[in-house]
């Protein structure tokens, strides 16, 4: 509980920290006040990234978008763009669409709603290996072949790599780029395939990806939340996820939040169908 509050605090600090550094004088503002077309909920989404979204509408974000549109009395229309560097610039900020179904709460490039779920990075391994790794401090991590997602934005990387490096676990770690080969289906999922095939013993990946593909896998896979939830010096493994609209689009944000509140039970059911590991549901605390 304490840790969860801390995680929120950490995120709040990021937001405050970022706001503090806004340049003082800006004569030209690029906030887009673009009127939304009537009857259409325009969603910016990746066409090839399950379990989140794909062009066939098979992701949980596709399903939730349908719910959202129903309540707003609209139909869903997608702007497809690979969700990598430039995604927000070319879709949401360019005015091509109006809502992104999943972003970290307080994310700088969008105006975010209250979070609608909180998930965690997980240890993913074959059940038949019986590894039972639950903590970054497990000595076994020095011996296993470990896969981590890498991003490669300079000086940025996914938290598992940092947590391992801090413990001097480097040589037995293999990186799987989140970009992957975009001609294949759902490129970030290759790390899960690698666990199933035995190329690596253990992967440390974001929960929703692991939960969904572990469920699809023919080889039974174990999904275990990592601990600690926040590693030193300030490295969170637990993230609140919100929906994002364009900065300045308060109206749409408020409308979306109302639907999130009203449809909470159905949204929870969808997330559960997709095996999204949740860390916000004890004591019915969903959507804190």
Partner 1 sequence: MITIQSFGFRGAAFLACLLLLQSACTRKNSQPQQTSPNRVLTAPTGATVSAEPEDGQWTMPAKNYASTRFSGLEDINTGNVASLKMAWSFSTGINRGHEAAPIIANNLMFVVTPFPNIVYALDLTQPGAPVKWKYEPNPLSSAQGVACCDVVNRGGVYSNGKFFFNTLDNNTIALDAASGKEIWKTKVGDINLGESITMAPLVVKDKVLVGNSGGEFGVRGWLTALNAADGKIVWRAYHTGPDADVLIGPNFHPYYPQDQGKELGVTSWPSDAWKIGGGTMWGWISYDPEQNLIFYGTGNPGPWNPDQRPGDNKWTCGIFARDVDTGDARWFYQFSPHDLHDYDGINEQILMDMPVNGQMRKVLVRPERNGHMYVIDRTNGQVLSANPFAYITSSKGVDLNTGRLIYNDEKKPEVGQVVREICPAAPGAKDWQPSAFSPKTGLMYVPHQNLCMDSEGLEANYIAGTPYVGANVRMYAGPGGNRGEFLAWDPVKNEKVWAVPENFPVWSGALVTAGDVVFYGTMDGWFKALDARNGTLLWQFKCGSGIIGQPVAYRGPDGKEYIAILAGVGGWSGAIVAGALDPRDATAALGFVGAMADLPNATTRGGMLYVFALP
Query: Per CB under 8 A, which of residues 194..253 are in contact with partner 1?
Result: 205-206, 208-209, 233-236, 239, 241, 247
Q: CA 254, 259, 265, 267 torsion: positive or negative? A: negative
Residue 152 in the binding site for partner 1 (CB under 8 A): yes
Contact 219, 196 (CB under 8 A): yes
Contact 72, 259 (CB under 8 A): yes
Q: Name residues contacting partner 1, limited to 4-63 (CB under 8 A).
A: 11, 14-15, 17-18, 21-23, 26-31, 46, 49, 52
* Only segment of 126-134, 183-191, 221-229, 270-278 that touches partner 1 (CB under 8 A): 183-191
State the nearest-atom distance from the C-beta of 187 to partner 1, in Å: 7
Dig out the tokens for 268 from the structure: 């929870």
Which region holds residue 123: left if phi is over 0, alpha if psi is between -120 and 50, else beta?
Answer: beta
3-class DSSP assignment, residue 236: strand
Q: Name residues contacting partner 1, limited to 65-124 (CB under 8 A).
A: 81-87, 89-90, 93-94, 102-109
State the nearest-atom distance from the C-beta of 38 to partner 1, in Å: 26
Is residue 189 within a helix (H) or strand (E), and if so which, with residue range? none
Closest listed residue to residue 287, CA positions, set 61, 223, 267: 267
| Nearer to partner 1 among residue 165 and residue 258 (C-beta) | 165
* Only segment of 36-44, 122-130, 152-160, 253-261 that touches partner 1 (CB under 8 A): 152-160
State the nearest-atom distance from the C-beta of 188 to partner 1, in Å: 5
Candidates 137, 182, 197, 273; binder of partner 1 (CB under 8 A) is 182
* Only segment of 135-143, 158-166, 217-225, 270-278 that touches partner 1 (CB under 8 A): 158-166
Which spans in 201-279 are helix H?
Answer: 207-216, 250-262, 264-273
CA angle 181, 51, 12 (to 5 degrees): 100
Q: Name residues contacting partner 1, limited to 248-287 (CB under 8 A).
A: none
State the nearest-atom distance from the C-beta of 229 to partner 1, in Å: 13
DSSP-assigned beta bridge partners for residue 241: 104, 117
Dig out the tokens for 24 from the structure: 């003082």
* Only segment of 167-175, 221-229, 249-257, 261-269 that touches partner 1 (CB under 8 A): 167-175
State the nearest-atom distance from the C-beta of 1 to partner 1, in Å: 21
CA distances from 11 to 103, 190, 261, 272 (A): 13, 29, 22, 25
Residue 170 in the binding site for partner 1 (CB under 8 A): yes
Residue 165 in the binding site for partner 1 (CB under 8 A): yes
């Amino acid at each position: 509980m304490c840790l969860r509050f801390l995680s929120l605090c950490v995120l709040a600090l990021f937001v405050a920290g970022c706001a503090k550094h806004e340049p003082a004088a800006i004569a030209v503002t690029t906030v887009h006040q673009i009127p939304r077309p009537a009857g259409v909920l325009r969603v910016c989404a990746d066409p090839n990234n399950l379990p989140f979204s794909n062009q066939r509408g098979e992701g949980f974000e596709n399903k939730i978008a349908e719910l959202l549109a129903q309540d707003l009395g609209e139909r869903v229309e997608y702007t497809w763009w690979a969700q990598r560097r430039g995604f927000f610039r070319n879709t949401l900020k360019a005015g091509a669409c109006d809502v992104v179904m999943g972003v970290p709460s307080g994310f700088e490039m969008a105006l975010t709603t209250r979070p609608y779920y909180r998930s965690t990075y997980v240890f993913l391994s074959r059940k038949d290996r019986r590894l039972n790794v639950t903590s970054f401090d497990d000595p076994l991590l020095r011996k296993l072949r470990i896969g981590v997602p890498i991003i490669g934005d300079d000086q940025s990387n996914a938290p598992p790599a940092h947590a391992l490096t801090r413990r001097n676990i480097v040589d037995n770690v293999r990186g799987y780029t989140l970009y992957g080969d975009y001609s294949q289906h759902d490129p970030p999922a290759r790390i899960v395939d690698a666990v199933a095939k035995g190329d690596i013993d253990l992967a440390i990946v974001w929960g929703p990806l692991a939960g969904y593909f572990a469920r699809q896998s023919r080889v039974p896979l174990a999904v275990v939340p990592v601990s600690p939830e926040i590693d030193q010096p300030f490295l969170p493994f637990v993230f609140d996820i919100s929906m994002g609209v364009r900065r300045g689009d308060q109206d749409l944000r408020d409308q979306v939040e109302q639907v999130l509140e009203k449809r909470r039970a159905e949204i929870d059911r969808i997330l559960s169908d997709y095996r999204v590991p949740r860390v916000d549901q004890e004591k019915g605390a969903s959507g804190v």
